Amino acid sequence: MVQVAFSTPGVKYPDDEIPDDELMDALKKLIDERTEKQRQITDLKDQIKQLNGQEKKGDKAIRTLKTHLSESQVGRTDLKLVL
């Protein structure tokens, strides 16, 4: 795995040998960061779903309110619905 990373064009091979502990720490850090980003993505997806649900409820409430207002104004010419 390390050979593949350092055989990529443009990547400089380290001058010194990397101790196993440093390599394991670096891999652990990468895994932890990736796990945290995945958790953040999941949280954002959940927030988007909640907001979409709230938006749909809000749209429905507006339509219901418009309907009620329209029905309450039947026969009244002095009020105008502007929503």
pTM for the full predicted model: 0.53
The tens digit of pLDDT for each residue in 29-73 reads 999 999 999 999 999 999 999 998 888 888 888 888 888 888 776
For the cut 60, the answer to whether the pLDDT of residue 5 exceeds it is no
* Spatial CA neighbour of 18 closest among 31, 9, 27: 27
Phi (first) and psi of residue 75, to 5 degrees: 85, -5
User: Which residues, other chains included, contact 62 with Cβ-Cβ below 8 Å and sequence gap of 6+?
Assistant: 83
Rounded-to-integer distance, Cα 49 and Cα 55, Å? 10
Q: How much is the pLDDT for 56?
A: 87
Give the pLDDT score at 68.
83
